Each structure stands twice: as C-alpha cells, then as structure tokens.
Structure 1
Amino acid sequence: MDAGDILGQSRVRLGILGPLRVQVGGETVAAKRPAVRHLLGALLLHSGEAPSAARVTELGWGPAGCSSGSLHTTVSRLRDWLKEECGPTATVTWDGHGYRLELPDSDDDLATYRQLVLAPRATEPTERAHELHRALDLWRGPLFADGPEWIRTDPLVRRWEESRISLALELADAALEAGKPEFALNQLEQLAAELPYDERVHARLLTILLACGRRAEALRRYDDVRRRLSEELGVSPSGALAEVHAELLREPRSARAPFHDRPKSGQLVIGSHEAIIALPEVRALLAEMRLHHPDLTIKVRHLDFVEQVTALPQGQVDVIVAYLPVPPGVPVQVIGTGTRAVAVSNNHELAGRDQLRIADLKGHKVVSLSPSVHQEYRDFWAVDPRPDGSRVDFTDDEVTNLEELFSAVALGPNITVVPAKCRDFYPRPDIAYIDVVDMAPITVALAWLPGPERPALDALVTEAARLQA
C-alpha cells in the first residue's frame, strides 16, 4: 500500500449539512456525550473561524448558556475524543478570542458548500444546473439535523438553510431553461418533504412536475399542500403556489416542451415578478379580465430581473407587469402606486430602526443586480446617485432573481431597496424591512412593445385604465 492509500484511509470527513457526521478512513465515529456532540456541531457551524466562548455556549447549551467550568470540561472531553478518534493532531485551540477546531487533512461539507456557492455560475443552463446540483448534493437533510432544538432558530443556521432553498429554486430555473426539468426533481422532492409549509418550494416542485408531464400528480400534490395549510395553519395557498395551481388547471405541458412558451393566438401571456403579481390591484385586474373575457386564455409567467428586460423583445410574453421605470419608448398603463423599504439582515445595525431616511443608507453597500438589468432600473431602486450627490457602493453579487437577492441580504451585511409590500409577500425571520420615509413613491404598470393590433392586449390595457380611473 502506498502513502496515498494510507492518507486516503485516514482522512477525516466532517459533515454538518444534515445530521452531524464524522468519518475517519470511511468509518463513521460518534461522540456519545450530547454536550460534546453539541460543541463539535457549534464549531463546525463556524468552520474556519474561532467563535467566542459566548457564541459557543449559545449554540451548544442554548440561550441560557452554561458555566465556564462546564464549557472548559466539555472542551477538554472533545479534545480527548478528537485525539482518540481522529488522530493526534486533531484538537480544539484557544487563540485568546475564541475556540477553533483544528483537523489537518480533513474535508468539511459546509466549507465545501460555501466555496461552491460563492464560485461564479456558468452562463450555459445545463452546466449551471450541474454546478448547482453539485452544491446541493452535499445536503443530507436540515443543517445539524440531530442538534439541539434551539439550533433551528439560530440566525446563522437559518441563513444557510435559506441559501439551500435559494439554490434549489435556482436549480429548478436552470433545469427548466435547459429543457431538463427532471434534473431538479430529486432536490425539490427532498426539500418539500423537509419544509411542508414552504409555498415557494412546493410551487416550484409543482412547476417541475408539470414540465415533466406529470400534471395529475402535481394536482394531487397541490391538494395535499392546500389541505395541510388549511388544517394545520388555517391559511389558504397564496402567491406563487396559487398561480401554479391556476396553470395546472389550464393546460398540461409536455415533458419535453420548452418552458418558455411563446404567446399563441387566443391567449394573453403576462410576465411579472412574483411579488408584483400578488398585489391586490393586479389580482383585481386579472379577475376583471377573466370575468369580462371568459374566452381569453390568460397565462402568467414569472420573470426574474433579467427576463423582465428580455421577455418582451424575445416574444416570450405579450405584456409585463413591472415597477417603473422601463426603457424610453415603451408604452405603459399605470395600475397602482406604493412605497419602498430597505431590507437588511435581522442582525444588521439598522434592523432595529422603525423608519429610515435616504441619508441613513450612506456607508452601507447595496446588493448589485445583474448587469443585464437596465442601468436606469438598477439606479432607481438603489437611489443612485443619492440626493447629496454621492454614488452608491454596490457589491459584486450580480443577482438575477428575488431569491438570490434576499439570500444575499440575509447573509449580510449588505442592504437592498425593495417594494414595501415585500414585507407581506416575503416575511422571513432573517430579514427586517424598514420603511424609508423620503423615497419617491413607486409605480406599478403594464408595459408592452408597440406593434400590430392585438385585441387581447388592448382588452387588458382598457380594463386597467378603467380600474385606475
């Protein structure tokens, strides 16, 4: 046996993306004392860092913490266990500020996941789907699934869990764009089982099932989710889930049909962000259209930030529902108005404020949208330049959809400006929404490209004008 084989057999593999797991040379080893396991999990959650004693006790013993004596005893027991099971160089060190897990020649699934998440994404959808799948395959269940009950509410755990959801939704989009919806099915199935009340996940799973040609199964799944929400939470499906259900009832989609259906005769395809289509004034408009034009088939297609720019000129939709501004020369019909808010991590220094002014945003980086989004749109939402003439300092995230945007904000410390209605449509325990009192009102409107006469589009614009009047 050569040296490489020996090293491979003795390598330590650490897992926290699911139940806590330590493998040495392919064999799983476990710490029997709960306190030792909890301490090991706390250090793995801060992989590559040295969390303070206060942070370690908060994760390992809960909000009440523990005495310094208990902490020192447990650290000593963890050191003994690491030395016995993982080798003489495995230990826990104290650097004067915090504790650090030291395991030379080891693999750490959370550290690997972080590298994959932060790596640039491929532009080609199939390759991008494979990259996302590789990152999501590291998850075996909820983060530190067998940890103490208080772990589930820890902000750091919630941020990583939300990152996983965001990547799964991004994987679904990439798989659909590549014409391979089945590629995202297993990941969404697993998440839906773990998150029985998350409407975003279930909505995307239904979309994937529909694209795979499994419409009947998708309808059964919807009924299960609707019943669970009603009986256990006392609420009805809303937002994306309700829209997908409407799509299920309208028309099946072939397993190999392109996801981006082009508008057809006798139907009206409306493109929109999920957060806009749920606005009361937009729902009222759609209800009026279905009442007064029952022979017209209306489809709603959810757009990300980039698709809001490309969907109209590429003929993928007839009209978009968008927050202004739109490029010059594009006809619009106003539907309603609203206000803006700043979204920050709930650990952010601004999170405790009731209201903000634009001047309060100075010095805080704004999460950047993709360069493919029109510059005037990006500038409007970031308020760039600011009233004092200063320019906004953007991050290098270049997000393309709402899930990416909220995940970037939740991971902190950067901010974003969003419609204040996101507070209702995207309530998240890791994000705080703060109204900004001196930002200009925002306007939601229909926007379409000039062209030949289109009776269905004309009917929509007429109904919108009537309701607005």
Structure 2
Amino acid sequence: MSLGILGALRVQVDGQAVPAKRPAVRNLLGALLLHTGQTPSAARVIELGWGPDGCSSGSLHTTVSRLRDWLQKECGPEATVTWDGHGYRLELPHSEDDFAKYQQLVLAPRAADPLDRAQALHHALDLWRGPLFADGPEWIRTDPLVRRWEESRISLVLELADAALQAGRPEFALDQLEQLASELPYDERVHARLLTILLASGRRADALRRYDDVRRRLAEELGVSPSAALSEAHAELLREPRSARAPFHDRPKSGELVIGSHEAIITLPEVRALLAEMRVQHPELTIKVRHLDFVEQVTALPQGQVDVIVAFLPVPPGVPVQAIGTGTRAVAVSNHHELATRDHLLIADLKGHKVVSLSPSVHQEYRDFWAVDPRPDGTRVDFTDDEVTNLEELFSAVALGPNITVVPAACRDLYPRPDIAYIDVLDMAPITVALAWLPGPDRPALTALIEEAARLSTGLSSPGA
C-alpha cells in the first residue's frame, strides 16, 4: 500500500488507485497524513478537516468511524485510526508514505560533492506531483504547516539549482524549476533562478522569452515591476557572452560595481529598492552580486573581491557604513526544542541554552553582538564546539541539536525551514542593515551607490519586524 499527499491525495493498494469519495473522509485522511507519524489533537484535526467553521464532536466521531470503515475495506484489517485520549493517529502498517519519505530526505545531511548533492535533492523533489494536498479544501492552502512544507520545496529547488550550477550540470535542475515555475507564476525567486539555469544551459533566447512572459504577467495582473533578483537575471541575459567580451582585466573598473552579500539579504525590500533605483539612475553601471559566507564577509573587502558589502551591523572599527534599513532579532531553534512553542522571548529566557559558535575567523565583535555576549546580567554565553562558516551549517546545527542561535527576524521569511522555529526576542536592541566599504581612492560607481542609499534611507523601515 502506498499513500501520497505531495500533490493530490492518492491511495494505492497493489498498484491500483483507491479513491475516497466522501469529501469529509478525504479531508480527514489528508489531515492525518499531514501529521504522518504523529498524533494530532482533535482540535487540530477539526481545524484541518473542517476549516474555520469547525464541526461538532458528533460530526468528528462519525467521520472518524467512516474513515476506519473505508480503510479496513480498501486497505486491509490492520489499517485504522486510533485514539489515545489526546489525539488521533493513522495506523497503516507496511505502507509507503511520500510525505514521510520526503521529510526523511530533506532533513538528511547534504553531500559535499555538488553533483551528489544535486542528485539527492532531485530524488527528494521527484516525490512532488503538485502542491501539497492539492485537492484538499481551500483553507488548507493558508495553513502554516502546509505553507512551511511548500516553502521547503521552493528552498530545495533553489538549492538544487545552485548545486547543479556548481557541478557544471545546469540542465539537471531544469525540470524541477520549470514544474515549480508553472505552479507559482508570480514567485520571482523561482523565475529568476530559471532564467539563470536556462542561460547556463545555452538557452538564452528561451530565457528572454520567459522573462517577457513573467514581466508582462506581473504588470498586467499584479501591477508591479520585476524584483531586483529578476531584473538582475534579465540583465545577465542581455550581456554579451563571456567569449565575446574584452578580457576581464581590460574592462573599465569604474563602470562596474561588485556587491557582496549573504544571498537573502540582497532580497530585503530596502536593498531591492536601492538596486532598482541604481539601475534607473545609473544605467551605465554594471552591478554584480557576490554571495558571501560569514568568513568571506570579513575578508572580501580587504582582499578586493568586492567593492562594498551589504551586511547587518556591526562591522570592524574604522569601516565606513551607510544605513539602509532597520529590523529586529529572533532566536532560531529546532522544532523539538522546549522554546519552540513560545510566542516570544526575553533575553533572560536564553539562560542555560548553548549558542552555536561561528568560525573563529569571524570578528569577535560580530560574534559577541549576535550571541548577546555578555548578557545584560553580566554572565557569559556558553558556546558549542561548532565553527560554522555559513548559514546552511548554522541552521543544520540548530535543527539537529538542542542548541540555539540569534539571527535577524527577517530570516523567518528569507530562510523558511520546516525543521526550525523562529521566536522574536522583545528586549534585544534593534539591528541595522547597511552598506560597508573600505576607505580608498575615489570610485564613482561606489560613490553613486552610497549617495543613493543615503537618499533612500530617510525614514528607515523594518525588514525584520
């Protein structure tokens, strides 16, 4: 017997589809499959199965009884729904469950080799046939659990695209990106990455047609212009192929601006607005984005790899900065952590919880600020033995253990993960996202960026609020 919910609800016995024809029974089965291996409460089952209007206890008991009868008739005498006094549990021995398999694969450690990583990600994503519980009731689409796992799929597809590019096999990610792009016609992250993969696969003309379709759809149906990420992908399509350009070292540096950033920071509204305005006001400039890990954020400027970085403060003393926006901080913990059920925290609530340690190559001032070390009462933070260098390692360390980390609250939207909970910390000082650069000879492109940031920063908004 196999069950599927990564798409329309599907139950197969000996390879033959077995439909659940009663809508209430189908919705109840879907609700229990969304909590595969768990025992959701009666209230949670009602929330998923009947929506905001709910149902009576009599209706719930009747539907559970009908589901038991249907399971035993179609799937065998061992298939049933049990009640433990607190919640309901779907018992389907010797069955295959695509949602459970996906959760196992997505939470598995990633391979170091990009091709091996891409193949593993592809294997997990191949389980999806469409939106989660695609034929479920309309209220399912807004449920936080469903949205979290839908976001995990998007994150995995983008991760697959990156791994495929690193492996020199961009076409390996095409089918997953195209399927997701067709399901999410307005998701600019997905469409921007699809353009990049098409270009890397030698399909520039196809990518340009795709961009025109997306741009027209956004304008006509939503009344908005393309995002910075989508505009940057389009700009890359319009550039001459590398073989047709002058050698890199012969190109005029004054007309090029290389911005270093953690990938997600570049998508914050304030940063997007800044880059969009730069392209309008300074079309003569070529703007490039280089993604940095924690250590590179320290070394990229002095080593000349970038002209400027977009970073959450603080930065080392003596580095000039120009604020772009402000925000708040949150604590990230595993979904199984004792703090995960809290709506909000205070700094005092963090006492006794180890903080995942960044690499020693990261400036101590930066590490202390983000961990709030020392705490307001003077106690020092107890760090783990980890030495993480990037966000993937940081979130993996948090998800796998009892330890915590402090991050911008914007990570809740920028890095949604089904295995991590973000809890706002009410009494932490606000944070600032800013441009940072090194003093030096006059660089017109950098000066233009700083001046535009200063102009736009009047009345700072809050990306992490």
TM-score, normalised via structure 1 length: 0.77
Please say if residues 122 and 160 of structure 2, whose CA atoms lie closer than 8 Å, have aligned partners that are also in contact: yes
Question: Relative to 1, partners in 2 of residues 1:215 and 1:82: Cα closer, same or farther, differing over 3 Å?
Answer: same
Equivalence for 2:436: 446
Q: What's the offset of the Cα at 1:28?
A: 1.5
1:68-119 CA distance string (max 9 Å, x none)? 2211111111111111111111111111111111111111111111111111
Please say if residues 72 and 78 of structure 2, whose CA atoms lie closer than 8 Å, have aligned partners that are also in contact: yes
Aligned pairs for 1:334-353 (under 5 A) are: 334-336=321-323, 338-343=325-330, 351=343
Equivalence for 2:458: none
Equivalence for 2:110: 121
Q: Distance in 2 between matches of 1:31 and 1:394?
A: 50
Equivalence for 1:235: 224
Question: Relative to 1, partners in 2 of residues 1:241 and 1:394: Cα closer, same or farther, differing over 3 Å?
Answer: farther
Q: Distance in 2 between matches of 1:359 and 1:321?
A: 30
Aligned pairs for 1:69-88 (under 5 A) are: 69-88=58-77
2:82 equivalent to 1:93: yes
1:345-372 CA distance string (max 9 Å, x none)? 9997665x7xx86446657887x58759
Please say if residues 340 and 435 of structure 1, whose CA atoms lie closer than 8 Å, have aligned partners that are also in contact: no
Question: Relative to 1, partners in 2 of residues 1:140 and 1:292: Cα closer, same or farther, differing over 3 Å?
Answer: closer
Equivalence for 1:41: 30
1:459 corresponds to which letter in structure 2? P
Please say if residues 47 and 101 of structure 1, whose CA atoms lie closer than 8 Å, have aligned partners that are also in contact: yes
Q: Which of 34, 51, 61 is matched with 2:40 structurally?
A: 51
Give me the identity figure in percent.
65
Q: Which of 161, 173, 177 is matched with 1:184 structurally?
A: 173
Q: What's the offset of the Cα at 1:24?
A: 1.3
Q: What's the offset of the Cα at 1:25?
A: 1.6
Question: Relative to 1, partners in 2 of residues 1:311 and 1:173: Cα closer, same or farther, differing over 3 Å?
Answer: farther
Question: Relative to 1, partners in 2 of residues 1:204 and 1:292: Cα closer, same or farther, differing over 3 Å?
Answer: closer
Question: Relative to 1, partners in 2 of residues 1:71 and 1:419: Cα closer, same or farther, differing over 3 Å?
Answer: closer
Please say if residues 277 and 283 of structure 1, whose CA atoms lie closer than 8 Å, have aligned partners that are also in contact: no
Question: Relative to 1, partners in 2 of residues 1:334 and 1:316: Cα closer, same or farther, differing over 3 Å?
Answer: closer
2:165 equivalent to 1:165: no
Q: Which of 188, 212, 216 is matched with 1:199 structurally?
A: 188
Q: Distance in 2 between matches of 1:285 and 1:186?
A: 30
Equivalence for 1:459: 444
Q: Distance in 1 between matches of 2:357 and 2:213?
A: 36
1:237-290 CA distance string (max 9 Å, x none)? 223122222222234468xxxxxx987743433332342476657865896699
For the residue of structure 2 that corresponds to 1:100, the secondary structure is strand
Which consecutive residues of structure 1, in runs of 5 or more, have no partner in the other structure?
1-11, 255-260
Which consecutive residues of structure 2, in runs of 5 or more, have no partner in the other structure?
456-465
Q: What's the offset of the Cα at 1:61?
A: 1.2
1:333 corresponds to which letter in structure 2? P
Equivalence for 1:374: 362
Equivalence for 1:9: none
Equivalence for 2:203: 214
2:255 equivalent to 1:266: no
2:290 corresponds to which letter in structure 1? R
Question: Relative to 1, partners in 2 of residues 1:262 and 1:71: Cα closer, same or farther, differing over 3 Å?
Answer: farther
Aligned pairs for 1:270-419 (under 5 A) are: 270-273=259-262, 274-276=264-266, 280=270, 294=284, 297-303=286-292, 305=294, 308=297, 317=306, 319-326=308-315, 332-336=319-323, 338-343=325-330, 351=343, 358-359=347-348, 371=359, 374=362, 376=364, 377-388=366-377, 389-391=379-381, 400-401=390-391, 416-418=406-408
1:149-195 CA distance string (max 9 Å, x none)? 11101111011101111111111111111111111111111111111
> Considering only aligned residues, what root-mean-square deviation do their CA atoms show, in Å?
4.3
Q: Distance in 2 between matches of 1:326 and 1:299?
A: 22
Q: Distance in 1 between matches of 2:163 and 2:120?
A: 10
2:140 equivalent to 1:151: yes
Question: Relative to 1, partners in 2 of residues 1:414 and 1:252: Cα closer, same or farther, differing over 3 Å?
Answer: farther
TM-score, normalised via structure 2 length: 0.78
Please say if residues 335 and 464 of structure 1, whose CA atoms lie closer than 8 Å, have aligned partners that are also in contact: no
